Amino acid sequence: MLTLPNAEGYLPRLYKIFTSHETKMAKPNLFTQMFETVLSLHFGRTFWLDEENEFCSAPTFKNGSTDWEMWDYVSEWEDLEGVDFTKLFDVHRTLVQQKTLEEARA
């Protein structure tokens, strides 16, 4: 039988390593920025799906440009108070439909 040193703390640390998004990607490439995003006026953010279909977002300025350097994963949002999940899921559905259509055309 395999025994792990300090097994109590080992699994949570291992889980964090394998579920951490920190090294998966940077901002989306130019094609994604131009054609595979949804700009939500309600949220004031631009949304997209990354290469691993993770739901991402970045703040959108009032002039419509996106602050790509400040992107994040929607799954890592901590303050969900006041978030309209119906609208958020509508954005996600739109992105999935866009991606499905693109894959069908390929």
Instruction: With respect to residue 8, please indicate whether it lies within any of the assigned structural domains.
Output: no
Instruction: With respect to residue 16, please indicate whether it lies within any of the assigned structural domains.
Output: no
Range of the domain at 96: 25-105
Asked if residue 73 lies in contact with residue 54, where contact means CB atoms within 8 angstroms, the answer is yes
Encoded amino acid at 66, one letter: T
Number of domains in the chain: 1
Asked if residue 57 lies in contact with residue 44, where contact means CB atoms within 8 angstroms, the answer is no
Asked if residue 68 lies in contact with residue 79, where contact means CB atoms within 8 angstroms, the answer is no
Instruction: State pTM to two decimals.
Output: 0.73
Instruction: With respect to residue 10, please indicate whether it lies within any of the assigned structural domains.
Output: no
What pLDDT is stored for residue 24 in this prediction?
55
CA 41 to chain CA mean position, Å = 17
Instruction: With respect to residue 95, please indicate whether it lies within any of the assigned structural domains.
Output: yes
Instruction: With respect to residue 3, please indicate whether it lies within any of the assigned structural domains.
Output: no
Instruction: With respect to residue 50, please indicate whether it lies within any of the assigned structural domains.
Output: yes
Q: Residues 52-74, buried b or exposed e (16+ Cβ, 10 A)?
A: eeebbbbbbeeeeebeeeebeeb
Instruction: With respect to residue 32, please indicate whether it lies within any of the assigned structural domains.
Output: yes
Higher pLDDT, residue 58 or 15: 58
pLDDT in tens, 33-81: 788 999 999 999 999 999 999 999 999 999 999 999 999 999 999 999 9
Instruction: With respect to residue 97, please indicate whether it lies within any of the assigned structural domains.
Output: yes
Asked if residue 87 lies in contact with residue 77, where contact means CB atoms within 8 angstroms, the answer is no
Higher pLDDT, residue 34 or 98: 98
